[in-house]
């Protein structure tokens, strides 16, 4: 009998809880979990950072301020410095020097396969820089927009401009010693700093147009004055084809850098931008980036 009374009490208590919960649901007192309660993802990359592009507020951090080799994500700053030149003429032509070609062969570097002697516009060089990650295009741009009487002086001056631009963005953990990411022991940044560089670069409409382009065919002028149609340059950023809303920005890789990706996407009028450094493969850096984008958008609601 005593057991029966306890059982009855349990039933009454359960009924009361159910009625209360029902009333709360009916009145809207029980609401969905707030956006910030979304569980942060686990990524393979050693460093990661995501921010709300409009406000600059943090959405995700993992070793966000730890300095690492950045590979070709360095080229975001290369493009930013070029596009910041006063009186920039994107149709200005650059004659491709043998040294640009020798450089990529010497370093077994990614290239746009520019032809020695061809005249290539600055706009085309920027596509060659950002889509196939051409270190030959990076060299050509550094040579053109650096100041000095020798190529070495011009390149050193251009790299100086990259470091000045980093200082102007108040980046404390970034330093460049190369125009393309093939560093000499002192080319580094962080997920947070790289994201801020990319966010700044994305304010330029030419940059935005280039980094969201999947494929581009350049028509260059040969030594004899004829037109050469280059083989199409394909964007190395696989997110452009596999993640809805992707608008950029740049891949990077290297023996020290491993696999890096600076990424940005816009959905429902909101833009999430971020970086993963030192992931383990092309597929993994894209998987890491997608997780962080999904998380960023979930945080923004």
Residue from 75, 80, 250, 290 carrying the catalytic annotation: 75
Residue from 69, 72, 110, 199 carrying the catalytic annotation: 72
CA distance 242 to 284: 13
List residues bridging with 221 in a β-sheet: 119, 227
Residue from 69, 133, 189, 200 carrying the catalytic annotation: 133
Active site residue 133: yes
DSSP string, 113-133: -PPTT-EEEHHHHHHHHHSS-
Which amino acids are annotated catalytic?
72, 75, 133
């Amino acid at each position: 009998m005593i057991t029966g009374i306890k059982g009855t009490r349990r039933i009454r208590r359960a009924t009361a809880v159910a009625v209360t919960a029902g009333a709360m649901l009916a009145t809207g007192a029980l609401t969905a979990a707030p956006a910030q309660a979304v569980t942060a993802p686990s990524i393979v990359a050693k460093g990661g950072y995501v921010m709300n592009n409009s406000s600059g507020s943090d959405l995700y951090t993992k070793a966000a301020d730890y300095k690492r080799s950045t590979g070709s994500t360095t080229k975001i700053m290369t493009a930013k410095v070029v596009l910041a030149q006063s009186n920039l003429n994107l149709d200005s032509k650059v004659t491709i020097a043998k040294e640009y070609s020798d450089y990529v062969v010497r370093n077994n570097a990614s290239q746009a396969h520019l032809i020695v002697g061809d005249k290539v516009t600055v706009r085309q060089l920027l596509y060659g820089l950002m889509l196939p990650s051409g270190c030959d295009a990076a060299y050509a741009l550094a040579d053109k927009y650096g100041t000095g009487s020798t190529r070495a002086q011009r390149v050193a001056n251009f790299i100086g401009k990259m470091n000045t631009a980093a200082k102007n963005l108040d980046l404390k953990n970034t330093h460049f010693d190369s125009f393309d990411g093939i560093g000499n022991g002192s080319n580094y940044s962080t997920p947070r700093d790289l994201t801020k560089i990319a966010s700044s670069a994305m304010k330029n409409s030419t940059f935005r147009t280039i980094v969201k382009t999947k494929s581009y065919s350049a028509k260059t002028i040969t030594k004899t004055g004829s037109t050469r149609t280059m083989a199409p340059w394909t964007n190395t950023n696989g997110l452009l084809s596999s993640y809805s809303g992707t608008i950029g920005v740049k891949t990077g890789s290297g023996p020290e850098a491993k696999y890096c990706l600076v990424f940005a996407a816009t959905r429902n009028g909101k833009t999430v931008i971020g970086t993963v450094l030192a992931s383990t493969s092309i597929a993994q850096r894209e998987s890491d980036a997608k997780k962080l984008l999904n998380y960023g958008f979930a945080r923004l609601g």
